[in-house]
Amino acid sequence: MPATPTGTLPTSGVTGRWLLDTGPLVALLSKNDAAHERCADVFASFRGHLLTTEAVLTEAMHLVGRRGAGACLEFFLRAGALIVPADLRRLQRCHDLVARYADVPMDFADATLVALAEEVSVGQIFTLDRRGFNTYRWRRTRRFTLTP
C-alpha cells in the first residue's frame, strides 16, 4: 500500500504486517491517554499481523501499572499481536543499535523493534515515537513508515 505524502499509511482497511511499539498499546489500554481514540481507530481498522517483542510487552506492563496489567496480557493472549522472542543474534544487534543511536537515545525496546524490522523485513511501525523512529533506520538506510 503506498504511503501518503506525510509518510504514514492510511488507516481504513489496512492489511499487512506492522511492528507494534509501546505507545499505541498503552494508549489503547488507557482511555485517559491523549492518543487513545486515534490509536483505537487504527487498531479497529487494521486487519493484518502486528509483530512486537518481549521488551515492548514489559515496557507496556510497567506503564499501565497494576490496573492495566490484566488487559495488557489479555491483548496478547487474544492474539492482538505476536511476540517474537529474542535470540542471541538479535540481542547483539540491539547492543550495536543502542551504541549507534546513543545520541537519540535509543532504549532497549526500540532497539528490539529495529532489529526485528531487519530480521523480518517489515518497515511499517505503529508508534507514537516520532522522534526516534524518524531517526532510526533499519538495514542502515531504510526509513520506517510510521502510523498513526
Confidence (pLDDT) at 14: 63
**Residue 33: all three cell numbers together:** 491517554
Q: What is the pLDDT of residue 59?
A: 98
Q: What is the structure's pLDDT at 13?
A: 52
Q: Which pLDDT belongs to residue 97? A: 98
pTM above 0.75? Answer: yes
C-alpha distances in Å from residue 97, one per residue of 91, 102, 125, 132? 10, 8, 17, 12
Domains and CATH numbers, the chain: 17-141 (3.40.50.1010)
Query: In the structure grid, which three cell numbers stand for residue 58, read together?
Result: 514489559
pLDDT tens for the chain, residues 1 to 148 = 333 333 343 444 567 999 999 999 999 999 999 999 999 999 999 999 999 999 999 999 999 999 999 999 999 999 999 999 999 999 999 999 999 999 999 999 999 999 999 999 999 999 999 999 999 999 999 999 999 9
